[in-house]
Structure 1
Amino acid sequence: MADITVVIPSYNSIDTIEAAIGSALAQTIPVNVIVVDDCSKDETVRKVQHLAEQNTNLKLIVQPQNRGPSAARNRAISEVKTSWIAILDADDYMHPDRLRKMLDVGVKEQLDLVADDLIRVPDTSQPASGTRLWADQAIGLVRMDAGRFALENLNARTGNRRELGYLKPIIRSEFLTAHAIAYNEDMRLSEDYDIYMRCLLAGARFGVIDPCGYFSVDYPYSLSKEFASADLRRVLDRDREYLTHPGLADEARRSISQHKIQAYKHWAWMHLIERVRDRDLAGALATFVAPPVIVATLLARVIRHALGKEPVPQSGGRAAQVQSIEQIMAAS
């Protein structure tokens, strides 16, 4: 009997879905796998149907219309019968012993979420090296609360694309059910950050451990993906909602407020660009009706743009260290 179900949302994933599913089915403990296809236009569905015919513990669900990864994950989670849920993206894959290691920690430490520091690897068949997302050295077990989690999602602290919101934990099913927590389906950006934060605010016991073998593949096109200001605004709105949570600790309030300012800066810049492109002068000027720190950031970026300079990233933080896969995995 499986203790864990691997949830894989899929959209136009014909080139990667077999590797993702294969890595889930190859786990050293029994697992169920649910793939939810979000109206792919390629042959993804046919590929998964073929694999499901050969594996009784693989289930395919096809969405009636494209609704985004959050809705796809929620659809899969609604079918889960196991004690734990694991999230896997359709273009990533796992080490065979990953889920056993994570489950052992979750049970022993009585956690509700267990996240291993993921490993970013290049798009090659057998990568020899990669980079850890969050910490370059062994961390053991780090327990997260809402304040620490928000802090570790600040670009200026972690470095660009090293935020904890990228992690893919295993989650105790009973906790999500008991607190009626699901992915926000109106979010197509930072939806992972949002659900983890809401779990923490609901009292989740959340532990981050060394890499157990979640391999996040870096594709060149994924780095240039753009989002509309409406997507960024939803991140800002979520931070504002967190700050209304009753009994929020002072440390958490400070950290979430910092994340809110970061989200506000990202939204304001994109919103300004969109208003200028639409020749909406009034809308563009209205963007400057904001707190001083936001106005200062906007003015600085406008000046850099006028001078023909590329925008300077709003992030310092740590630079990732390239290491061999053996070195990274040795920490766990």
Structure 2
Amino acid sequence: MANVIYTKQRGLNMVTDVSIIIAAFNAQKTLGTAIESALNQTDCNLEVIVVDDCSTDDTALIAKRYATLDSRVSVLKTDYNLGCSEARNLAISAARGTWLAVLDADDFFAPDRIATLLETAKKETVEIVVDSYFLCDSLSMNAHTARFTALCPPEESRLFTAQDFIHHGLGSTKPLFKASLLQKHDLSFDPFVSAGEDLLLYTQLVLLQAKCAFINRPMYFRTEDPSSLSRQNRIGFLTELLTVFDVLEGNLSLLHCDFDKTYHAIAYRRKITHDALAAAQWKQWAEHKTSDSFPSVLSGFRLLRHLCFKKQRYAMCPLQV
């Protein structure tokens, strides 16, 4: 399934605090920035595991170059394209860190992100730490919007229940979490979910009573590439995301959580996703104006609701230029 194409032997007695997981497919333009942001983390012992998911560009070559220069980098290459979830799971199976952090190949970290999250985890005695994040232009890499910065005062942290986590949509984040959680609950990224695999896994963990804290300090930079799958096929992405909420709802009876509050939190995020789907359908119709794709009257109501409450629902705060 995969081969280790480059790694340097590190000291066997060296403690690894955090394993940073990067699944990459045809990411030659952005992978270097992602890896460098991981290696430039301050005040922690870390390893970076890059999985080249059968790329057809120079992704593997770039990853190997970093591995030859820094013993903290290991590179795995799949024999065929596995998809994001299985590529991440492959890296996790090779990880030695007490904590895990996922970094998308087109995103990057602030230099003190991991150290700050570790400090927050220690302070709050939790197993999952979530931070606010920036949305960036994929060309300039400049941040234009912050998300989740209104959930508590700047630089402060707070504990989150599973219901808080779901209600505020924190499944879209990239938290730091204990590797032992996956072993304890026999969980991994679901390879059969192509949209919302992060949402599904992290929500399952908090529903299984993993302690979670949030810190209002944007340290993850997420790029918005118009050519990404979630942007090109917005309708398909959101439709798939709705199935994730169905899975979570179907598992509630098996989990130790407040059923009513959790059910209502899931219903709220499902409504938001339905409204976003309606907006995507109307956009498609406006671009093509074919009679067979004319959205329904109900979707018109959902479109208006989406437009009126988008910033509030997605905790978006545009940055002043």
Q: What's the TM-score bracket when you normalise by the shorter of the two chains? A: 0.7 to 0.9
Which residue of 1 is the match for residue 287 of structure 2? none
Which residue of 1 is the match for residue 262 of structure 2? 252
SS of the equivalent of 1:89 reads: coil
Which residue of 2 is the match for residue 242 of structure 1? 251
Counting only pairs closer than 5 Å after superposition, residues 8-23 of structure 1 correspond to structure 2 as 8-23=22-37
Which residue of 1 is the match for residue 215 of structure 2? 209
1:146 aligns with 2:144: no
Offset at residue 27 of structure 1 (A):
1.0
Distance of aligned partners of 1:56 and 1:67 in 2 relative to their CA distance in 1, 3 Å threshold:
same
Q: State the alpha-carbon separation in 1 of the partners of residues 87 and 121 from structure 2.
A: 25
Offset at residue 117 of structure 1 (A):
0.5
Q: C-alpha offsets along residues 22-69 of structure 1, whole Å, 9 cap, x if unaligned?
A: 111111122100011111111111111122111111011112221211
Q: State the alpha-carbon separation in 1 of the partners of residues 274 and 144 from structure 2.
A: 32
Give the alignment's TM-score, normalised by structure 1.
0.76
Matched-pair contact (CA < 8 Å) for 1:232–1:266: no
In the alignment, structure 1 segments of 5+ residues that lack a partner are: 154-163, 274-280, 285-296, 326-332
Q: State the alpha-carbon separation in 1 of the partners of residues 35 and 276 from structure 2.
A: 35
Offset at residue 221 of structure 1 (A):
3.0
Which residue of 2 is the match for residue 92 of structure 1? 107
Which residue of 2 is the match for residue 224 of structure 1? 231
Matched-pair contact (CA < 8 Å) for 2:132–2:216: yes
Matched-pair contact (CA < 8 Å) for 1:27–1:96: yes
Give the alignment's TM-score, normalised by structure 2.
0.79
Offset at residue 135 of structure 1 (A):
2.1
Which residue of 2 is the match for residue 116 of structure 1? 131
Deviates more, 1:84-93 or 1:217-226: 217-226
Distance of aligned partners of 1:31 and 1:212 in 2 relative to their CA distance in 1, 3 Å threshold:
farther
Q: What's the % identity of the aligned pairs?
A: 26
SS of the equivalent of 1:42 reads: coil
Q: C-alpha offsets along residues 137-187 of structure 1, whole Å, 9 cap, x if unaligned?
A: 52621222221122112xxxxxxxxxx222111111112211112111111
Residue among 91, 105, 119 paired with 1:76: 91
Which amino acid is the alignment partner of residue 163 of structure 2? G
Matched-pair contact (CA < 8 Å) for 1:97–1:212: no
Q: State the alpha-carbon separation in 2 of the partners of residues 114 and 246 from structure 1.
A: 21
Distance of aligned partners of 1:142 and 1:76 in 2 relative to their CA distance in 1, 3 Å threshold:
same
Larger fraction in strand: 2
When the two structures are aligned, how many residues end up with a matched partner?
Answer: 289
Distance of aligned partners of 1:241 and 1:221 in 2 relative to their CA distance in 1, 3 Å threshold:
same
Q: Name the Cα RMSD after superposition.
A: 3.3
Which residue of 1 is the match for residue 306 of structure 2? 314
Which residue of 2 is the match for residue 191 of structure 1? 197
Matched-pair contact (CA < 8 Å) for 2:141–2:223: no
In the alignment, structure 2 segments of 5+ residues that lack a partner are: 1-14, 285-291
Which amino acid is the alignment partner of residue 27 of structure 1? Q
Deviates more, 1:141-150 or 1:164-173: 141-150
Which amino acid is the alignment partner of residue 314 of structure 1? H
Q: State the alpha-carbon separation in 1 of the partners of residues 276 and 221 from structure 2.
A: 28
